[in-house]
Structure 1
Amino acid sequence: MTMSKNNAFVSLFASVQLALFLLFFLATTSIIGTIVPQNNVPGFYVERYGAKTAQFFQLLAIPDMYNSWWFLGLLGVFSLNLIVCSLERLPQVLRMMRRDIRATAPNHLQAFPFRQEITLNTTLDLATERVRSLFSQQGWSPATVDKEGAILIAAQKGVWSRLGVYVVHLSILIILMGALIGSSTVAEKILRQPTFAFKGSIMLPEGQATNHITAFKRGTHIDLDFHLRCDDFTIEYYPNGMPKTYRSDVSILERGQVVQTASIEVNQPLTYKGITFYQSSYQPYQQYLVALVRQNDGLETRELVTTAQEVKWAQGGISFGIINRESQGEVTRRLKIWFSDGKGDPSIFWVNPGKETLVERSDATYRLTIDQLYATGLQATKDPGVDLVYAGCILMLAGLYVAFFLSHRRLFVLIRREEAQRCRLFFAGDANKNRVGFEKKFSELIKMLGS
């Protein structure tokens, strides 16, 4: 009698019906979490879904559903269900795997699904050797035992494949454990260490550095033990003004020194000290980075300017400014520049952001480059459980392969001597999966022996 028959708790959590219900419920809620944008500010949900719906979302923590108490609770119940199911059924499987197939009684062979009988005109010893040799050639490891005046040859393959489903169970538990370890809710409310696992964002203007991020949901600052600086932000647009691609060139600084540089693009994150930075957004400003170089002697300056502002470069004896701009949305397409060296009429011309322009004056030639200032939007994630999740996924693939593509196959031959030079061979076999394929191999083996 199994435990489930004696214990109502075990009976409930060993139920396959409960596992199916939990899987259905988790799948349904995951669809909701995919449809409803996650980790936005409360005003976003009020504007998009209305005040009452947004209040309902906040009550059920749907904006951060995968870290909500009820979703984590569902994962916990599902984990308990897997553990109890495995512990309830695994001992029986292990006993079956350890069972000595040589102990199979000859009369039990009649109950096997695949059976066939043939006659060989040879002695008992030669028939036995012939069967053993054929089995070995086909990759079976035959065992021989005397049974009631007959010879029983038994062999099996893939006995360990019965564990495939339990490997899948274990992989799911490892994945769920990794998800819990990487949950910001677990880090904050159970471990009391918000920096252990978190998700947040940074809006970092070009040329600036920061040593903290803003956590999703709570909106609090999480301090980093290094600085992240945005050295440059590059964006390309389609002719209709839609962004084509964008990239952030960043530096990691510790104690004021650059220890690493990298380019962050969509699908090309940066990971440093367990924190991964993803390119997620950007923000254009109506400010411009001006680089001005006097070609005669290489004297240069860099300035951050706005429109309708006169900038004086005292060392170079130059004044300049932006007197007009043409924009598409927040993106500047052209800028009208006023440029003077105090000698003669000022130069007035249009430039394209990011394109170098030569300004010819009476005494010198200047190289002028103007770039619109951007802030890069980065998502920052620290997930110490991600390695467990990857390991669980790999283990799951292995378990699924074993569970679906391999089978436990048993093959028996009972050899009885009828006359001095005549033997009757009774074949029996079964497989716990892919019985059609096993039946074909079973028939081919018998045909090879009789040929």
Structure 2
Amino acid sequence: MNSIKCECGHVNPEGTVLCEACGKPIEGNQHIDGNDKKKLLNMRYEGSARRSNTYNKTIIDKIWNFFSSVKIAVWLIVIALIASSIGTIFPLEQYIPADAVSRDPSVFYEATYGLAGKIFYQLGFHQLYSSWWYLLLIASIGVSLVICSIDRFVPLYRALKRQKAKRHESFLSRLRFYSETESVQEEEIKQVKEQLAKQRYNVKEEDGHIVAEKGRFSRWGPYVNHIGLIIILIAAMLRLSPIFFFEEYVWVREGELRVIPGTDNEYFIENKQFILDTYDADDERFKDALQKEGRVVPSNFQTNAIIYRAIESEVVGAEQELEKVDEFEIRMNEPAKFGGYTLYQQGYQLNEFSEMTFKLYEMNDPDTEPLGEFTVDLFDPDLEYELDNGFKVEIAEFYPDYTISEEGVRSKTNSSNNPAFVFKLYPPNSEDAEISFVGDVIGTAEQMGIDPEVVDLSPMGQVIGTFTPSIDPTGGENNYRILIDSIDFDRKSGLNVKRDYTLPIFIIGAIIFMAGVLQGMYWQHRRIWIHPKNNGILLAAHTNKNWFGLKKDIEKAIEGTSINIVNDQKED
């Protein structure tokens, strides 16, 4: 590092504009402008040497200088805001509705939103907040904040720490507020010092030179802002870790007890009752709106639930015991909170298939009495069913939510929204099975314009349609047919499970950020210098904002003395 020695004897680092000791302008700042007027000093960073303005040789220097630019930081923030705004146009992948045509992102966005959805998916906005380029953008903003702060804070702190009362005349004469008084009494100077002290200025004297200062801490407001923003960015990055943030959607049927996802089998929920209230269509307050809506609109839907916690057992293989934690009435905006987790009411389904009863008939005479019947629990189906008359039915394939496409038939979800079966039927004393498919595959395929003969029925899926008599998917002829006799339905609640340990970090960052805003907005760094010259004095002052307030302080301090009020040299 090269150094610059001032005539006062102080050695300044390379890039210094104003001597750190006496304030004398250096580095070509002693000249006057084209109109023969003195140029006012740039006091933004006290004329201290900043690394970004000094070194530009190595790759480290270039990276440092790039991220130390405020313009670069602003552009990074603008790009992040634009990307975040685009990410709100369509739902993110984790918020694809459970009843969507397909929960496969490559299919859902194009099928639902057309070309715009396809572009949205291909550009990776469906996983915006976890995409590598968005995380890199957020990390770049954090790096920029850190480097901007260090590049300015360190030299500024060093310069202000060496604040001296004795300053060079050229420094004082080129401040915005400046005046000269040819003759001043010592008592008047003493009076000014007392008045400044009453205004809470910190008055320091050196060989007859005086500096009065207050509000220096306001200079650190922007750097406090940066600390708050960095903490907020760290909290945003921590949300990518399942340790700090977890969110999942769970369906719970009425009367069902199941483990809550993400709790490591520690917490369980029992849906005691689901309640759905709707607006009265005859109520004059809602009548017009409901008629315009054209459907039943819920006024409230809630889940009355009990939360249990698993008790650890010292006996290996022992049945798990549960202890009651609390009972909750979970409504919209009234979640259940327990053990660091929060359960939000977000959806419901009123007609989920729960049990289906089938009856067996002869193929050629379906109007006769049934040969037998069996009931399938769709949530826990048996592999086979023995009928009283010797028939045996096996479930070869079960598709809770099936669909059909040119690629074949498959199950879309694990929920019993649209079940279909492939049965193997064994007549009495026979080892040869008839294969039957129960589901409207043929009708739906024809509606979709797909030739049923070319559809592969082995990979199953979902399709919405009515159930038809059983068919043999292999194309063979059956002697018996299986028909649905009755269907039982369940109601289930859709709950959002969330655990967020980053929220306190966000709050701390926001509080620190606002403290920095208040610190820099409502206080000002004010300094007043008194420089003895012959029998008179030079009076100069500087502040980072609110020049009117500084002038009022000076007027109050010199009131009743012969000292001349300062002139605003910027106006002159």
Q: Flag whether TM exceeds 0.5 (same fold).
A: yes
In our comparison, the structure showing a higher alpha carbon Rg is 2
Find 2:297's aligned residue among 221, 226, 242: 242
Q: Which amino acid aligns with 2:274?
A: F
Tell me, yes or no, if structure 1 residue 175 matches structure 2 residue 232.
yes
**2:332 matched to which residue of 1?**
266
Tell me the matched-pair count. Answer: 340
Is the 2:530–2:539 contact (alpha carbons within 8 Å) kept by the matching residues of 1? yes
Find 1:432's aligned residue among 533, 544, 567: 544
Distance 1:103 1:54 in 2: 68
Residues 204, 136 of structure 1: CA spacing in aligned structure 2 closer, same or farther, 3 A cutoff? same
Shift of 1:181: 1.0
CA RMSD in angstroms comes to 3.0
Distance 2:180 2:334 in 1: 64
Find 2:254's aligned residue among 206, 227, 236: 206
Distance 1:385 1:287 in 2: 39
SS of alignment partner, residue 529 of structure 2 = strand
Distance 1:245 1:448 in 2: 74
Distance 1:49 1:119 in 2: 80
Is the 2:342–2:497 contact (alpha carbons within 8 Å) kept by the matching residues of 1? yes
**2:344 matched to which residue of 1?**
278
SS of alignment partner, residue 433 of structure 1 = coil
**2:201 matched to which residue of 1?**
140
Residues 449, 383 of structure 1: CA spacing in aligned structure 2 closer, same or farther, 3 A cutoff? farther
Residues 44, 434 of structure 1: CA spacing in aligned structure 2 closer, same or farther, 3 A cutoff? farther
Shift of 1:175: 0.7
Identity of aligned residues (%): 26
Distance 2:182 2:256 in 1: 89
Find 1:131's aligned residue among 192, 198, 207: 192
Is the 1:117–1:425 contact (alpha carbons within 8 Å) kept by the matching residues of 2? yes
**1:251 matched to which residue of 2?**
306
Distance 2:559 2:276 in 1: 71
Shift of 1:178: 0.8
**2:272 matched to which residue of 1?**
231
Tell me, yes or no, if structure 1 residue 391 matches structure 2 residue 508.
yes
Q: Which consecutive unaligned segments of at least 5 residues does structure 1 have?
A: 188-193, 214-220, 289-371, 419-423
Distance 1:374 1:441 in 2: 74
Q: Which amino acid aligns with 1:254?
A: R
**1:152 matched to which residue of 2?**
209
Tell me, yes or no, if structure 1 residue 45 matches structure 2 residue 45.
no
Q: 1:331-351 CA distances to partner (integer Å, 9 max, x unpaired)?
A: xxxxxxxxxxxxxxxxxxxxx
Q: Which consecutive unaligned segments of at least 5 residues does structure 2 have?
A: 1-14, 16-49, 97-102, 281-289, 291-295, 311-321, 355-488, 564-572
Is the 2:165–2:529 contact (alpha carbons within 8 Å) kept by the matching residues of 1? no
Residues 156, 196 of structure 1: CA spacing in aligned structure 2 closer, same or farther, 3 A cutoff? closer
Q: 1:70-111 CA distances to partner (integer Å, 9 max, x unpaired)?
A: 211111111112122222222111112212232323552222
Tell me, yes or no, if structure 1 residue 162 matches structure 2 residue 223.
no
Shift of 1:26: 0.4
Distance 2:183 2:256 in 1: 89
Shift of 1:63: 1.9
1:26-175, aligned counterparts within 5 Å? Answer: 26-38=80-92, 39=94, 40=96, 41=103, 42=105, 43-50=107-114, 53-117=116-180, 123-124=185-186, 126-146=187-207, 151-175=208-232
Find 1:15's aligned residue among 57, 65, 69: 69
Higher strand share goes to which structure? Answer: 1
Q: Which amino acid aligns with 1:13?
A: F
SS of alignment partner, residue 255 of structure 2 = coil
Is the 2:229–2:513 contact (alpha carbons within 8 Å) kept by the matching residues of 1? yes
Q: Which amino acid aligns with 1:407?
A: Q
Is the 1:134–1:449 contact (alpha carbons within 8 Å) kept by the matching residues of 2? no
SS of alignment partner, residue 34 of structure 1 = coil
Residues 134, 54 of structure 1: CA spacing in aligned structure 2 closer, same or farther, 3 A cutoff? same
Q: 1:211-261 CA distances to partner (integer Å, 9 max, x unpaired)?
A: 143xxxxxxx87442112233333433332322333333322013221123
Is the 1:182–1:382 contact (alpha carbons within 8 Å) kept by the matching residues of 2? no
Residues 154, 385 of structure 1: CA spacing in aligned structure 2 closer, same or farther, 3 A cutoff? same
SS of alignment partner, residue 102 of structure 1 = coil
SS of alignment partner, residue 438 of structure 1 = helix
Shift of 1:196: 5.3
**1:362 matched to which residue of 2?**
none
SS of alignment partner, residue 35 of structure 1 = coil
Q: Which amino acid aligns with 1:435?
A: W
Q: 1:375-414 CA distances to partner (integer Å, 9 max, x unpaired)?
A: 3222222233222111111111111222333221111234
Is the 2:231–2:506 contact (alpha carbons within 8 Å) kept by the matching residues of 1? yes
Is the 2:303–2:345 contact (alpha carbons within 8 Å) kept by the matching residues of 1? yes
1:369-384, aligned counterparts within 5 Å? Answer: 374-384=491-501
Residues 450, 138 of structure 1: CA spacing in aligned structure 2 closer, same or farther, 3 A cutoff? farther
Residues 408, 268 of structure 1: CA spacing in aligned structure 2 closer, same or farther, 3 A cutoff? farther
Is the 2:330–2:344 contact (alpha carbons within 8 Å) kept by the matching residues of 1? yes
Q: Which amino acid aligns with 1:9?
A: I
Residues 378, 83 of structure 1: CA spacing in aligned structure 2 closer, same or farther, 3 A cutoff? same
Is the 2:188–2:561 contact (alpha carbons within 8 Å) kept by the matching residues of 1? no
Residues 47, 436 of structure 1: CA spacing in aligned structure 2 closer, same or farther, 3 A cutoff? farther
Residues 440, 234 of structure 1: CA spacing in aligned structure 2 closer, same or farther, 3 A cutoff? farther
Residues 212, 137 of structure 1: CA spacing in aligned structure 2 closer, same or farther, 3 A cutoff? same
Q: Which amino acid aligns with 1:179?
A: A
Q: 1:148-204 CA distances to partner (integer Å, 9 max, x unpaired)?
A: xxx322111121222111111111111111111111xxx3xxxxxx56532211122
Is the 1:227–1:253 contact (alpha carbons within 8 Å) kept by the matching residues of 2? yes
SS of alignment partner, residue 268 of structure 1 = coil
Distance 1:435 1:268 in 2: 51
Residues 145, 56 of structure 1: CA spacing in aligned structure 2 closer, same or farther, 3 A cutoff? same
Distance 1:139 1:230 in 2: 65
Is the 1:120–1:127 contact (alpha carbons within 8 Å) kept by the matching residues of 2? no
